[in-house]
């Protein structure tokens, strides 16, 4: 897979040296407040990484380019496409994690848009799905801005921080994405 790039961001496949950073993200209370998956041990994460390398899932590290020197970058998060079904030409958007100091700057929106473009126009996907906590308002607004449509709600679907939470199911079709991009 090639590196994906915008003026501010660089997205590239996660590497073994990114795992310590990912562990910090997974344990950061501000980051995982709206993340479906719970923190894991370093051993479990190593198994996860080994499985990702074999599975064909696309997990990308998000690097932020230095404003003065664009050749310098800082690892600030992750994003991924999982559960590829090439027969039906679809995948699931997951694993959006960004350091708190970079949140609120449309970085998640920019990274998602870049990944959607790659998914639709390079991988030839027809549909990209996403499920997330229904109370993750900022992420929901970003998805809608990119053209995602709500398909439904899974009631009390996840147990998170001691309570059951609803999951919102969203999807984006290639035809809708390309209309928005024209």
Condensed to tens digits (0 to 9), the pLDDT of residues 64-117 reads: 999 899 889 999 999 999 999 999 999 999 988 999 999 999 999 999 999 999
* Domain annotation for the chain: domains and CATH numbers: 4-181 (3.40.630.30)
As a whole number, the mean pLDDT across the chain is 92
For residue 148, how many C-alpha atoms fall within 13 Å in the half-sphere facing its CB?
26
Residues with Cβ within 8 Å of 147's Cβ and at least 6 positions away in sequence, in order, are 172, 176, 177, 179, 180
Token couple for 53: 């390398």
List, for residues 2-11, the tens digit of each pLDDT value. 899 999 999 9
CA angle at 47 for the pair 35 and 117, rounded to the nearest 5°: 50
What share of the chain has pLDDT > 70, as a percent? Answer: 97
List, for residues 29-57, the tens digit of each pLDDT value. 777 777 776 667 888 888 889 988 889 89
The Cα–Cα gap between 158 and 10 comes to: 32
């Amino acid at each position: 897979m090639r590196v994906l790039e915008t003026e501010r961001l660089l997205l590239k496949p996660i590497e073994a040296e990114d795992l310590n950073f990912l562990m910090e993200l997974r344990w950061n209370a501000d980051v995982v407040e709206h993340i479906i998956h719970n923190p894991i041990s370093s051993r479990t994460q190593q198994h996860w990484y080994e499985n990702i390398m074999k599975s064909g899932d696309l997990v990308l590290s998000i690097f932020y380019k230095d404003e003065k020197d664009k050749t310098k970058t800082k690892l600030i998060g992750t994003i991924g496409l999982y559960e590829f079904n090439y027969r039906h030409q679809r995948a699931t958007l997951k694993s959006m994690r960004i350091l708190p100091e970079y949140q609120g700057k449309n970085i998640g929106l920019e990274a998602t848009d870049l990944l959607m473009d790659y998914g639709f126009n390079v991988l030839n996907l027809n549909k990209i799905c996403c499920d997330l906590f229904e109370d993750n308002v900022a992420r929901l607004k970003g998805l809608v801005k990119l053209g995602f449509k709500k398909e439904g709600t899974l009631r009390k679907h996840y147990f998170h921080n001691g309570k059951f939470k609803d999951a919102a199911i969203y999807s984006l079709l290639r035809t809708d994405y390309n209309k928005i991009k024209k």
